[in-house]
Amino acid sequence: MKNSVVNIAQPKYVQLAQTLLNEIEGGVYKVGALLPTEHELCAQFGVSRFTAREALKRLVHLGIVTRQAGIGTTVIAKSTQSSYRQSMGAVNDLYQYASDTSLKILKSETVTLDHDLAQLLKASTGEVWLHLSGKRYVPNSLLPIAQTEIWICPACRSVKGVSGALRQAVHSFIEEQFGESIASVEQDIEAIVLDENTAKALSVKPGSAGLKITRWYLNRHGELVECAVSTHAAERFSYRSVFQREWGPESGAGGLGTGMPG
């Protein structure tokens, strides 16, 4: 369905916002490009400064552009679909998530575990792990959906290829190079308030709602191979799970039984 911000007989600033949105979606203004200034919009469309300003505000609200003094109005998304819904039912769904999005690695370093990190990684202090830090994006958007921190166990810390923009799961590199198949994934989901640094990284206001997802990737022996902590801006990410009931012989196909809590 085509994006729309206008209905019949709407104010001029709404109509102007729709025109600019249509041109962005049509490729007239690409992601990273600057839109005309308020003064230029007034001249092009024969509208008032108020109309031009309100139209741009509307695009900011939709997450299409960002405005910065001294720079101008920059296109940051091709459409209003800059969020991501993740559906999870099996480990393979994590591979789909990685291919649907891209993870831009911003930092890669080895770290010696202190007490807090050792607790998170269920490891011993003094161990040396590989730490990756980056941001995850959906296609055609400059707004990240997550800030991600990844730790890789000492045995696999020399993994190659985990740099730049990744369109495959980090643990797939580990599987390919070290033969460490991921047998299970433990996951914690926590609602949080974004601190100043995380909010800045995600381009939202400090104190905004966020979702913190921690995943521990275990091999067939139950040993931790990788841990990933992703912090999401609430308005750009949703999570969906589907639960299938297993019918026991004592409950029958038509009875409620006791196998599922209320």
Q: Are residue 32 and residue 149 in the same domain, yes or no?
A: no
Classify residue 246: in a domain, yes or no: no
Q: Are residue 92 and residue 216 in the same domain, yes or no?
A: yes
Token pair, residue 258, equals: 């006791």
Classify residue 22: in a domain, yes or no: yes
Q: Are residue 106 and residue 228 in the same domain, yes or no?
A: yes
Q: Are residue 53 and residue 110 in the same domain, yes or no?
A: no
Q: Are residue 182 and residue 221 in the same domain, yes or no?
A: yes
Q: Are residue 154 and residue 219 in the same domain, yes or no?
A: yes
- Amino acid occupying residue 122: K
- In tens digits, the chain (262 residues) has pLDDT values of 445 443 434 678 888 888 898 888 888 998 889 999 999 999 998 889 999 999 998 888 777 888 888 889 998 887 765 444 444 444 455 545 545 788 999 999 999 999 999 999 999 999 999 999 999 988 777 888 889 999 999 999 999 999 999 988 898 899 899 988 888 888 888 999 999 999 999 888 899 889 899 999 999 889 999 999 999 988 776 666 655 565 555 544 444 343 434 4
pLDDT digits (tens, 9 = 90+) for 93-113: 554 554 578 899 999 999 999
Domain span at 160 = 84-241
Q: Are residue 68 and residue 100 in the same domain, yes or no?
A: no
pLDDT number for residue 244: 58
Classify residue 186: in a domain, yes or no: yes
The total of structural domains in the chain comes to 2
* Residue 221 to residue 185: CA distance in whole angstroms: 13
Centre a 10 Å sphere on the Cβ of residue 232 and count the other Cβ atoms it contains.
27
pLDDT digits (tens, 9 = 90+) for 201-246: 988 889 988 989 999 999 988 999 999 999 998 877 666 665 556 5
Q: Are residue 203 and residue 220 in the same domain, yes or no?
A: yes
Classify residue 251: in a domain, yes or no: no
Q: Are residue 109 and residue 189 in the same domain, yes or no?
A: yes
Q: Is the pTM of this model over 0.75?
A: no
* Residue 140 to residue 82: CA distance in whole angstroms: 8
Residue 41: CATH number of its domain: 1.10.10.10
Q: Are residue 109 and residue 225 in the same domain, yes or no?
A: yes
Residue 219: CATH number of its domain: 3.40.1410.10
Q: Are residue 46 and residue 112 in the same domain, yes or no?
A: no
Classify residue 258: in a domain, yes or no: no
* Residue 216 to residue 152: CA distance in whole angstroms: 10
CA distances from 215 to 96, 123, 139, 242 (A): 16, 15, 23, 18
Q: Where are the beta strands (DSSP E) in 89-170?
A: 102-112, 128-137, 146-152, 165-166
* Residue 216 to residue 226: CA distance in whole angstroms: 6
